[in-house]
Amino acid sequence: MSLEALTKAPALRKGMLGTALTINSQEYDDVTLKGAGHSDAWEFTEAVKAAWTHFNLAALEKEAAQLDRILAGVLALAAPSRYPSACQIAPLLDAARALDSSLLSKLNAEAIGPEVAARIAPVRKFATDPRTARANAITTFVAAELDRWKDFFDTIESKPLTPEQRLSVVVDEDATLVLAGAGSGKTSVITAKAAYLVKAGIRQPEEILLLAFAKNAAEEMSERVEARSGVPIVARTFHAISYDIIGIVEGSKPALADHATDDMAFTNLIKQILKDLVYRLSEVSTAIIQFFAHFLVEPKTEWDFKTKHDFYTHMESQDLRTLQGEKVKSYEELQIANWLYENGVEYEYEPVYEHKVPETGRRDYQPDFRLTESGIYIEHFGVRRQKTADGRERLVTAPFVDRDEYLAGMDWKRKVHAEHKTILIETYSYERQEGRLLTGLAEKLAPHVTLNPRPVDTIYDRIVELKQVDDFSKLLGTFLRKFKSGGYSLQDCETKSDRMKLGKRARAFLDVFAPVFEEYQKRLEGRIDFEDMILRAAHYAETGLYVSPFRHILVDEFQDISQSRARLVKALKAQHPDVRVFAVGDDWQSIFRFAGSDIHLMRHFGREFGGTFDDEAGVHRTVDLGRTFRSVDQIAFAARSFVLRNPAQIEKQIVPAGTATEPAIRVVSVSKGEDEAKLNEVLAALSAAMAPEAKPATVLLLGRYRFIEPDMPGLRRRFPRLKISFKTIHASKGLEADHVILLNADSGRTGFPSEIVDDPLLSLVSPEEEPFRNAEERRVMYVAMTRARHTLTILASNARPSSFVTELRKDPAYAISTAPGAEPEAHICGECGGRLLGVTGQDGRIWYRCEHVQHCGNLLPACPSCGTALPRHAEGTSEVRCECGASYPTCPECKDGWLVERSGSFGKFLGCVRYPTCTGKAKIANGDRPAITKPRRRKRI
C-alpha cells in the first residue's frame, strides 16, 4: 500500500479486546487491524502520519516554483495591470488545471495542514470556476483603468470622450467589436485606441496595424492619430499592406495591371477577350452565342409567379430584347425569336394579321410571329399539360390566368387561320418544360422552311450592335472579381448552382466564364490585380512565409469587410497567440454587398475572430457606442426604428444629439414634371428660415443614382445663403449636413428602393443573400436619413411613392410630417393588381393607366363629372362612385370599368368606358337615360 494512495490519516479505536487501527486507501477497501496493543498501534499511526505528511509536502515542494508562478497570476487577477483577455488568461488556466490534475487535487488537506491548504485554494478555485474569476478581473481592471486615464480621455479629442467611447478604448479582448452608429464618433475611438495602446506601454507603434478601406481614409486617420497623440502610426489600406507583404516575401513587388485601377479598361479587356474567343470559331464561341441567344436574361415565365402584378414587375426588370432588336413579352417568345434569327429565318414580331377579321369587339388580331418568306404564322401558347385524377390529360394555364378564357382564345385563333387558309404553327409552354421547345419548332417548320444558319461572327457583330455585350461584359467582370476575391473554384460555383437550382442558365454562363477567366489570367502576364494582391498576401501569412510583427489589428468600417480581407486578418491574428482584433463598424450601414462586403462576418464576429477560454470558442466583447453627435431625436429614433424592421440587424441603443422643437422629417409630394419646382420650394423655405446673422447652413442633396443630380450651379446661384452639395447615398457615407433632401424617393426600376436586381448568377460568388426583403436597400435608406443633423426632407412622386415612403407615412411611430391631402389614394388595377396612375393625355384630359403599360394596358378616363378623380366600385352596391359625388352603373364584364351612354347601329346603349378592351354593355331600360348621379359639388385634387 503506497503513501500516495492514503485518503486520510490512520484511525485508532479502543475496544474490549484491544485497539483497532483502520487505514483508508484508494487502492484497497478500508483495512482494519484488530486486537493490537494500544501503545504499538499509536506509534505505528504516528509514523504513518509523519511519512504521509512528508510525502505530500515533498510532492508539493517539487512543484513549488510552478505553484508560485500560477498563484501569483491568479492573485494578480484581483487587481490586474492589463486587461485580462482570453488569450492572456488562457495559458494561466491551462497551467492551473494541469497542476491541479497532476498534484493539487490529490493532496490531502489533513496531510499538508491548513496553511498550505489555504495557499493552494485560490489556484484550485480558479481551475474550477475560471469564468467568474476572469469576469471579476475585467470589472476591476476597467473601473481602475477608466479612472487612471481620465485626463487622457478628457483631452485626446476636442471634446471629452463619452463613457461608451472610453469603455471601448480600455476593453482589450481577443476580439473587440465596437458598434459605431451613424455620427457616434468612431474615428475618435480608433484615434484614442491607437494612442492609448502606445502611451500605456501595451504596444510599440510598429506592433499596431491600422486598417482602412480607402486611401484617403487611411491618410486622414494617420494624420489624426499623430496630431492628437503624437504617436506616429501609419494607417494603411488592405491593398497597401497586402502589397507590402508580397514585396517582403518575394523580394520585389510585382507590377500592377493597368486595368486594376481603371474600371473602363477592365471592362474593355473582358469585351476584347470575348471577341477574340468568338472569332477563333471554337466550341467556346458557340457557348458564347448560345448564352446571348437563350440565357442572357433570367429564364422565368408566368408559371413562376402567383399574380399578374408580380409577373409584370419581374418582366419590366428584364430587357427581353431579341437578336433582331425588338422587345418581346415573354422569355419563351425570346427563345423562339432568337432561334429564328440564328437560323436565318426572317420574321416579323406581332404583325397585324393579313386578313381583316370581322368586328368582334377585339383589337386587330396580331399573331406572335409571321415568317416573311413563307407567310407562315407562329403562335406560342402559355399552356402546360396536367394529368387528372382519372388519368386523362388537360391543358392548364398559369395561376393568375383565366383558363377557360385563354383556351377559348386559342380556339378562336385556330378558327381565324382555318377560315382564311393561312398556315399556323403552334408552340406551347409545356414543350419548354419538357426541354423540346426549339427542337419541336424545327420539326414543325421543316416542311415549310429551309434553315440558313447565320455565321457565329455575324451573330456576335449583331450582339455588339445591340450593345448587349456591354452589360454582359460588366456582369462577367463583376463575377470575375468576386470569383477571385472570394477564392472560389469552378467546382464551388457548380455545387452552389445545383444547391440553388439555377439550372441550365448557370451552366451556360460557367461554360463562357471558364475560358474567359483562363484567358484573363494569361493576359496578366506576371502582373497582379487587386484581387490577387489580398489573396496572395493572405496565403503568405497563412503559410508562415510572412512573419507578422503586428499584435494589435485595428479595422475601420468593419461592416464593409469581405471574405478575402477577413481571411488576411485571420491569418495575421493566427501568427501569434496574443494578437488582438479591434473592429469598429455599423452593420446598419453595410451597403456594399455588390463590392463583396459580407455582413455575416460582422453578425458572427465572435465565431469568426474570437478567442477561446475554458473550452468556450468565439470569446469576444461588443461595445455599443450608442450616442450620436449628429441627428436630433426625431431623425435618430425614426432611422433606428426603420432599419430594425429587419430582425437580423444587431440591435443598438441610440442617444440623440438633441431634441427637435418642430417636425424634423417631412415628405413632400411631387407631381409629374414638378421635381425642380418642388426642390426650389424646399430650398427657399430653408433659406428663409435662417436668421439674418447666421452663417450659411449646409444642405446635402442625396440621390440613389448619380443621374438624378440637379443643376447644382443654378441652385447655388439662387440660394447663396445655403452651402448646397449633391452626393449619391453610397458616396455620402461619413458625411453630414444641417439639412438633407432626399430626391426621387419613387417606386420603379431606378427608384428607391432600387428595383434593379443583381443578376442571380452573382449569387454563385456572393455572400448568402439576406431573406428580409430589400434588406440592403433599407440600410441605404438608413444611411441617407442619418446624414441629417436638423431636418430631413423626402421628395416623393405623388403617383408613384416608394414603398419606403409609404411605410414612413403610414406608421405614426416615425412622426413624419406630411401636408394634408398630400398622400394620394392608391388605386389598384382590377386587371393585374398593379397601381393605376394618373396621367395627362394628349387631349389634355386626365386618364388612369396601369403602371404595367406594356403588359396590362388597363386604361380608364377620369370621372366625366369632375374630370380629375377616378370613380371606384362602392362596396355592396352595383355602382361606381367618384369622390366628387357622381355615380355610374358598374360594368358587368370588368372590375374597374363603368357604363356610359354610347350610340350603335341599333341606337343608344350603355357601354364600358374601357371599350374596346372591354365589351361590357347594357340596354337603356325603356329608353331612359343611364342612372348617373351628378356630383353635389366639384372637387379638385
CB 237 within 8 A of CB 251: no
Per DSSP, the three-state class of 463 is: helix
CA distances from 15 to 12, 20, 501 (A): 10, 7, 87
Nearest to residue 12, comparing CAs of 1, 28, 23, 25?
23
Locate 179 and state its grid cell. Answer: 458598434
Residue 756 CA to residue 471 CA, distance in Å, equals 13
Radius of gyration of the chain (CA): 39
177 with 622: CB under 8 angstroms? yes
Measured CA to CA, the distance from residue 776 to residue 924 in angstroms comes to 57
Alpha-carbon torsion angle 718, 722, 728, 729, nearest 10? -140
CA–CA separation, 866 vs 414, rounded Å?
45
Q: Is 105 annotated as a binding residue?
A: no
DSSP 890-921: BPSS-SS-BEEEEEETTEEEEEETTTTT---E
Cell 405623388 belongs to which residue? 798
Three cell numbers at 936? Answer: 353635389
Half-sphere exposure of 92 (CA within 13 A, CB side): 26
Q: Is 387 annotated as a binding residue?
A: no
85: exposed, middle or buried (C-beta count within 10 Å: 0-12, 13-18, 19+)? buried
The number of residues making up the chain comes to 941
Q: What does the DSSP assignment read for 315-360? A: HHHS--B-TTS-B-SSHHHHHHHHHHHHTT--EEESPPPSSPPPP-
Write the CB contacts of 502 (distance below 8 Å, at least 6 apart in sequence).
Answer: 760, 761, 763, 764
Q: Which residue has the cell 421635381?
A: 675
Question: Going by C-beta distance under 8 Å and a sequence separation of 6 or more, which residues neighbour residue 228?
Answer: 156, 157, 191, 192, 195
Question: Does 37 appear as a known binding residue?
Answer: no
- Contact call for residues 699 and 724 (beta carbons, < 8 A): yes
Cβ partners under 8 Å of residue 522, min gap 6? none
Cα–Cα distance measured from residue 482 to residue 488, given in angstroms and rounded to the nearest whole number: 8
- Cell numbers at residue 325, please? 432588336
Residue 927 three-state SS: helix
For residues 526 and 553, the answer to whether their CB atoms sit within 8 Å is no
Tell me the three cell numbers of residue 579: 494578437
Distance, CA of 1 to CA of 25 (rounded, Å): 8
Q: What number of CA atoms fall less than 13 Å from residue 630's CA on the CB side? A: 29
184 annotated as a binding-site residue: yes
Question: Is 440 assigned a ligand-binding role in the annotation?
Answer: no
Rounded CA-CA distance 580/756 in Å is 40
CA angle 134, 137, 139 (to 5 degrees): 115
Please tell me whether 329 is known to bind a ligand. no
Q: Using an 8 Å Cβ cutoff, are 580 and 552 in contact?
A: yes
Sheet-wide strand order for 899-904: 899-904, 907-912, 921-922
Q: Is 840 annotated as a binding residue?
A: no
- Which of 143, 126, 122, 119 shows the shortest CA–CA distance to 89? 126
Nearest alpha carbon to residue 808 among 795, 790, 821, 799: 795
Check the annotation: does 819 bind a ligand.
no
427 three-state secondary structure: strand
CA 64 to chain centre: 57
Give the dihedral of Cα atoms 429, 432, 436, 439; nearest 10 deg: 80
Residues sharing a CB contact under 8 Å with residue 711, sequence separation 6 or more, in sequence order: 676
Binding annotation: 180-187
Binding annotation for ATP: 180-187
